[in-house]
Structure 1
Amino acid sequence: MTISFSYRDNEIVSSPAVIVSGSTSSGIQHGIVCFTNNENKVFPPQYFEVNNGQFKAFVHVSPGESNQFHVEVMDNGFLSSFGFPEYRNGRPNVVDKGRLALAFNPLPQNKPVHLCLIRGRDSPNTYDMPHYRLSRGEQPNLENAIKKLKVAGRMMQAYTQDEMRAVGFSNRSFQFVEETTSDQTIFGYKVQSPTPHQEIKVHVLTSPKSVAELRSPDLAQQNPNAKDSGGLFSHAIELIKNSDIYDPKSGTAVQCAVMYLDSTYDKKNNLILTHAALGGGTNEVKLAIFGSHGLHSYPQNFPLLTPSFLDSTRLSTNEVANDCNECGTSWECLNICLGAFMHEIGHLLGCPHQIDGVMLRDYVWWNRSFLTRELECLRTHSSGELIQRNGQWSRVCHWNVLDLIRFLYHDSFALPVDRFEKVYTTTRKPDSSYPNSAVPSSYASPGNGSVMMSDAGIFMVEIVDGDLTRYHEPYLPQGYGGNGVVHQCVINYAEYLAKLRSAKRDAGEGYKVRVMSLAGDLFIDDFKKHCSPSQQDLVKSDFGLGRGELTGYKSELLGSAKGEMRVATFNLKTVYKVRVYSGRALDGVRFYFRTSTGTQGGAPKVPPRNYLKKLIGHHELHHETHSQVNGVAKEVSSLVGKETGSYSDFELQHGEEIVRFNIRNGAWVDGIQVVTNSNRSSPMLGNAQGGHLSSLVKPTEDAQIVGMYFYLGGWLDGLGLIYTYR
């Protein structure tokens, strides 16, 4: 007889728990399989069902020496309600044997996820639990809540590694913060192992709010009349920032997955209180939050994984919540409430909603990734299903390939053998330590298209119809089917509309574009409008270049558009000094430049004063200012924004030319840095820590920067380039 495994012998894994799928050639319909690792040195034997000759084993591995699994299949075995083997006729009847070796390489150098519980200051440390579980002795206390989260975390890690492996992205998964223990309770045994192992550490954070305050209907996300439905999210961020988890000196975001312990179902108002399913975060805390209302269905130890997914006990809203009306049985509740928690962790790790998979709601099939048998499903009115003899289910849950590409470039998934850079904000290094940390920039170009640029490197472009990506072009690393990131790409509107409609025939014309780079993402909400600027968005003039009327294009706006747009023009090739006016933010920038016949320090002739008269649109113009002596120009300059008494000068050296502007911006423009072709730069002038880093450069070699457009309030609210083509 032969046992086949999904993993090759001596394969290296990076998840502490691994889903090993396989089959036995014994031809048995039902039975059990036992995996014994290194003769029980670290972990006890683990047992799983065999159905239609197929099995899925959720096994544990330890670092250091090779994990040598001795595998046996028994045709007279079954699992008890506690997940331990029992045998008809009292003794196991072994019908197949095999061996598998796996090497485990931990990744402590990667930025981890902190798994957390938040409780009210007066919390009784309990969670909702149906009566049938209470009657069999299960206790809904803090200790068991922590155990359930530890098991859940390992399930998510193993599942994600299996998904990365399936598409050829190597055996990689995200990491949790861990702790060392010899206690074997989580494996179902009340003993101490002579060899310690690692378990996920669960941080317990106590809120200054009472349980009653946390259970306010105004915080309940599912309450349509809630006054602060996102309040639990911001509250979790506040608690994390005031805890030992957060280090403000690290210079990069901490990652936290949080469950609120004091969730409960309010039957009278049909609300789950102290619950919100949210993921995302800030530059300081990347966060996922969920409630404990379905925690009762989670396995409390690893042997209970199979019984938990096979618990078809019907649940009543007289006792517990029926989240999304898809938790009619205990195993369906496990799918929904743990799958949805993983969905929010997906948001924490940078994933948007997708057309299918975890980031839609495909976790209703999540059990099939761990089991070969499914019981009655009230959601689909199915009496049950078995895995097919080829090892396939009729339908399963996946991480969408777009999520997996994000994970490939996320440093929480990095492998020591990787030779490609990761998204800057996902590493342990301070975000500010990366010199090319500006988000991508886009520039409309003739021919109904746009040039996308990124110094850090673009790793994927997504075409979005409605709210979901329907077409994508990845730039995968060498070794994974690509040539690595690109620093510039051109997206033609008509070409990509055709590609979009090949994937979704009824896609609208106003599609969206997401450009993903190692330094962050650029999202263009209406790409058709972006590629087809109206006359109001064009500037027509000769810009003092003496080449007749030219069309000036506007770059994307950094900051915000408040009030009236204004325009200032200059010939960047002849700028010899830049004066930056700033205080708490950027107030203005004055460019001093030569005329076509003048020289710095000399007496250039006054240029024609009418070359901006053909500007299209009703924009306030900032003309060049001139100082004259006897009718001869002594100084020519152009002002962007306004002058103040606080300024700094940056003078260019002979032969130098400005090639880019690094901008700190958010809701307004915080600061500006001037960079020259000799790689010399000014300091970041203004608020050097404000907003995020962006850049403004000319999009192609045949383009020329001829000015800036801006919006002026108390300081510069918005700023962009004007460029033309030669």
Structure 2
Amino acid sequence: MPIYIICKGHNGEFQAPNNEENTIQSACRRIAVGCKLIQCLTAEKLAESGLGRKTFQLENDLNTQAAECTVFHSQLSVERARRLSPEELWEHFGRELMMSPLGNNNRKFVAFLSCTRYIPNGKKPDTYEEILSSMEGHVALGGGGLAIFGTGCLHTWPRGVEEVVPRFLNVTQVDTQSLMDDSCFRGTYGGCFSTTLGSVCHELGHTFDLGHTEGSIMGRGFDNLNLVFTVHTKNDNEKIDKEKNKRVSSPASKASAQHATVSFTKVLNISYRAPSPIRKPINKFNRTPDSPKRKLSFTDLSIRSSQESIASDTVDESQTTSELSGDLTYWTKSCATILAFHRVQRDTLVLPKTEILGFDPSRVH
């Protein structure tokens, strides 16, 4: 379920250059398009692996009356949100979403935080760590039932299908004196769109039990996602160093690295007292109508470390056919197999020519 989180005291507008619309409605349109692109990517890459076109359901696929992206007003203040670490943001919003009317063990959330802010320190950042040190409310984490992201580069995303290719090909240079550059050193708006959309795909993969791998979408292959949707080749996926007059820093040749590595496992258990009268509960809460105490287990929202991941980078992936394709974006054999044979929810919707990948709450961690 795509979610746009607005913290208490924030107007919901995401950071963007003056010429870009940054309203709540614009954010939701961009998120909806991005999620559909990832939905498409998942299906096509599984098909390349010989496992058929299977992908996850979006809320609007199940209920056409539902919003393509739901606005969620958090009770967490914007000031506090900007002080919390990525792990703390993930934990807080995981609790809050599951305690809300949206909470459901048969639903996974892909959420975007509106109050992400880049505050430059006066000099051009040379490393990704320096960029992160200038960020507030930035997060890119996924696991269990929640994948959550900052919106520092959301302005580079398309508002409609007609903008997808132009946005990927946008070579406008990022002004690092005012905006975040999350492009894997390409320095362009198109690079930011490719890397951040790929990052969402990567973290969403963690919610479907996938762990880190060498290369591929679950490694650092997600930076090259633009090559899937355009006719450019991997050699075009570089930038020109005007001073040295040569191409440099192709993300395809970068050493494997992660935006964030989660290194803990934590189960959250929350109890609260519901006001009387109490309606007859749904069976999943395992309590009688007379019980004043309602307990929710958030085991489906706990993050797993790469060491505990189901997909192991020790598996021989040498026969992965899509790795040899020109776009350099692929699922490893182990990841593709897990996705393709993930337990399907009982009442899944089957779209024309496309099987839908569901999930079983008992499988999440």
TM-score relative to the length of structure 2: 0.66
User: Which residue of 2 is the match for residue 346 of structure 1?
Assistant: 205
Match of 2:88 among 220, 225, 231: 231
Counterpart check, 1:261 vs 2:118: no
Report deviation, 1:220.
Answer: 3.8
Report deviation, 1:200.
Answer: 6.2
Q: Deviations over 1:412-447 (max 9, x none)?
A: 58787xxxxxx9x9237xx4xxxxxxxxxxxxxxxx
Report deviation, 1:324.
Answer: 7.0
User: Secondary structure of the equivalent of 1:208?
Assistant: strand
Counterpart check, 1:279 vs 2:161: no
Write the distance in 1 (CA, Å) between the matches of 2:160 and 2:146.
26
Counterpart check, 1:377 vs 2:238: yes
User: Which residue of 2 is the match for residue 401 of structure 1?
Assistant: 333
Q: Deviations over 1:533-562 (max 9, x none)?
A: xxxxxxxxxxxxxxxxxxxxxxxxxxxxxx
Paired amino acid for 1:405: T
Q: Which runs of 5+ in 1 are unaligned?
A: 1-113, 182-196, 222-229, 386-391, 417-422, 432-518, 522-726
Report deviation, 1:376.
Answer: 6.7
User: Secondary structure of the equivalent of 1:333?
Assistant: helix
Whether the aligned pair in 2 keeps the contact of 1:358 and 1:397 (CA below 8 Å) is yes
Whether the aligned pair in 2 keeps the contact of 1:326 and 1:379 (CA below 8 Å) is no
Instruction: Report the RMSD for the aligned CA atoms in angstroms.
Output: 3.3
Moved beyond 4 Å, runs of 4+: 197-200, 392-395, 412-416
Q: Which runs of 5+ in 2 are unaligned?
A: 122-129, 251-323, 351-356
Q: Deviations over 1:155-207 (max 9, x none)?
A: 001111101111221121111100799xxxxxxxxxxxxxxx78862121111
Which structure's residues are more often strand, by fraction?
Answer: 1
Write the distance in 1 (CA, Å) between the matches of 2:227 and 2:172.
18
Distance of aligned partners of 1:147 and 1:412 in 2 relative to their CA distance in 1, 3 Å threshold: farther
Write the distance in 2 (CA, Å) between the matches of 1:149 and 1:404.
24
Distance of aligned partners of 1:379 and 1:332 in 2 relative to their CA distance in 1, 3 Å threshold: farther
Alignment of 1:600-639 (within 5 A): none
Report deviation, 1:382.
Answer: 3.3
User: Which residue of 1 is the match for residue 311 of structure 2?
Assistant: none
Write the distance in 2 (CA, Å) between the matches of 1:180 and 1:146.
18
Alignment of 1:313-324 (within 5 A): 313-323=172-182
Distance of aligned partners of 1:379 and 1:178 in 2 relative to their CA distance in 1, 3 Å threshold: farther
Alignment of 1:284-683 (within 5 A): 286-323=145-182, 326=185, 328-373=187-232, 377-378=238-239, 382=247, 394-411=326-343, 426-427=359-360, 431=362
User: Secondary structure of the equivalent of 1:399?
Assistant: coil
Write the distance in 1 (CA, Å) between the matches of 2:325 and 2:229.
11
Q: Deviations over 1:219-251 (max 9, x none)?
A: 244xxxxxxxx110011112211222114xxxx
Write the distance in 2 (CA, Å) between the matches of 1:426 and 1:379.
44
User: Secondary structure of the equivalent of 1:426?
Assistant: coil
User: Which residue of 1 is the match for residue 38 of structure 2?
Assistant: 156
Report deviation, 1:345.
Answer: 0.4
Counterpart check, 1:214 vs 2:81: yes
Whether the aligned pair in 2 keeps the contact of 1:179 and 1:198 (CA below 8 Å) is no
Counterpart check, 1:204 vs 2:71: yes
Structure with the larger RCO, 1 or 2 (CA within 8 Å, 6+ apart): 2
Distance of aligned partners of 1:412 and 1:298 in 2 relative to their CA distance in 1, 3 Å threshold: farther
Alignment of 1:126-145 (within 5 A): 126-131=13-18, 134=19, 138-145=20-27
Aligned length: 270
User: Which residue of 2 is the match for residue 673 of structure 1?
Assistant: none
User: Which residue of 2 is the match for residue 705 of structure 1?
Assistant: none
Whether the aligned pair in 1 keeps the contact of 2:199 and 2:223 (CA below 8 Å) is no
Write the distance in 2 (CA, Å) between the matches of 1:210 and 1:115.
21
Larger Cα-atom Rg: 1
Distance of aligned partners of 1:317 and 1:278 in 2 relative to their CA distance in 1, 3 Å threshold: same
Distance of aligned partners of 1:163 and 1:279 in 2 relative to their CA distance in 1, 3 Å threshold: same
Report deviation, 1:254.
Answer: 2.9
Counterpart check, 1:120 vs 2:2: no
Write the distance in 2 (CA, Å) between the matches of 1:291 and 1:309.
19
Write the distance in 1 (CA, Å) between the matches of 2:211 and 2:237.
32
User: Secondary structure of the equivalent of 2:200?
Assistant: helix
User: Secondary structure of the equivalent of 2:8?
Assistant: coil
User: Which residue of 2 is the match for residue 146 of structure 1?
Assistant: 28
Distance of aligned partners of 1:394 and 1:383 in 2 relative to their CA distance in 1, 3 Å threshold: farther
Write the distance in 1 (CA, Å) between the matches of 2:78 and 2:224.
34
Write the distance in 1 (CA, Å) between the matches of 2:40 and 2:62.
19
Q: Deviations over 1:450-476 (max 9, x none)?
A: xxxxxxxxxxxxxxxxxxxxxxxxxxx
TM-score relative to the length of structure 1: 0.34
Write the distance in 2 (CA, Å) between the matches of 1:154 and 1:379.
31
User: Which residue of 1 is the match for residue 98 of structure 2?
Assistant: 241
Distance of aligned partners of 1:309 and 1:246 in 2 relative to their CA distance in 1, 3 Å threshold: same
Write the distance in 2 (CA, Å) between the matches of 1:304 and 1:237.
32
Write the distance in 1 (CA, Å) between the matches of 2:190 and 2:6.
26
Report deviation, 1:411.
Answer: 3.4
Whether the aligned pair in 2 keeps the contact of 1:376 and 1:383 (CA below 8 Å) is no
Whether the aligned pair in 2 keeps the contact of 1:117 and 1:259 (CA below 8 Å) is yes
Report deviation, 1:340.
Answer: 0.5
Paired amino acid for 1:426: F
Percent identity, please: 22
